[in-house]
Amino acid sequence: MKTLDGIIVEAEFCPSPNFDNRPKNVKIDLFVIHAISLPEGNYNTQLIKDLFLNNLSPGNDKFLQSIENLKVSSHFLVTRSGNLIQFVPIHKRAWHAGKSIYQGRENCNDFSIGIELEGCDIEEFTSAQYKSLSNLISYISADLEINKENIVGHNEIAPGRKTDPGPYFNWELLKSML
Ligand SMILES: [Zn+2]
């Protein structure tokens, strides 16, 4: 892999307007793993892109209506087939974690990289996703000198509020691939 201006050259880049600058002098040192599917349990990559690009057209779908005006993003999305999509340059702050705390430090968006996996709480992730995710984390952790142990689920930094990536995410498998 290779990066140009914080963008992975091999990724499909879909620039999201939902980002800003990280605070000055903050070292990026955490990966946050998420899962998303829209509507839940449906694997429609376009709707995830639409959400992160503020292009969602919810029609009559109540759930989509409820999230239509969120201003959110992640740095990356790994689709079910393992394709890598990037929305925000790595050195910028994506809006993925919300109210969150990691080892006493609040606002994890400041110092983390957000990676969404296309998935949900009730189904396994694909082997293509583990391969793509582990490649991505291996590359960025070497490039930015981030400890590869510094990976958490969204549920761990926003307990009681978030459940993703959920019980089907295989942490041991991921760590064995890094
Ligand atoms: Zn999440």
**Residue among 77, 38, 43 at smallest CA distance from 56:** 38
Round to whole Å and give the CA distance between 75 and 113. Answer: 6
* pLDDT on residue 40: 86
* Å from CA of 164 to ligand 1 middle: 5
**What are the residue boundaries of the structural domains of the chain, listed by start?**
3-177
Does this model's pTM top 0.85? yes
What pLDDT digit, counting tens, does each position of 128-140 carry? 999 999 999 999 9
**Residue in this structure with the two tokens 């429609």, named with its chain if needed:** 44
Mean per-residue pLDDT, 41-67: 93
Residue 39 pLDDT more than 90?
A: no
What share of the chain in percent tops pLDDT 70? 100
Round to whole Å and give the CA distance between 139 and 146. Answer: 10
In this structure, what DSSP letter does residue 83 have?
Answer: -
* Å from CA of 33 to ligand 1 middle: 7
Joined together, the tokens standing for residue 88 give: 């925000």
User: CB under 8 Å to 29, separation ≥6 — which residues?
Assistant: 111, 112, 146, 147, 150
* Å from CA of 25 to ligand 1 middle: 25
In this structure, what DSSP letter does residue 19 have?
Answer: E
Pairing of strands 92-94, 3-4: unpaired
Determine which one of 10, 68, 106, 116 is catalytic: 116
Q: Is the dihedral of CA 42, 8, 146, 176 positive or negative?
A: positive
CATH of domain 3-177: 3.40.80.10
* Å from CA of 118 to ligand 1 middle: 11
Round to whole Å and give the CA distance between 30 and 95. Answer: 14
Q: Interior CA angle at 34 toward 30 and 38, to 5°?
A: 155
- Residue 68: active-site member: no
* Å from CA of 109 to ligand 1 middle: 12
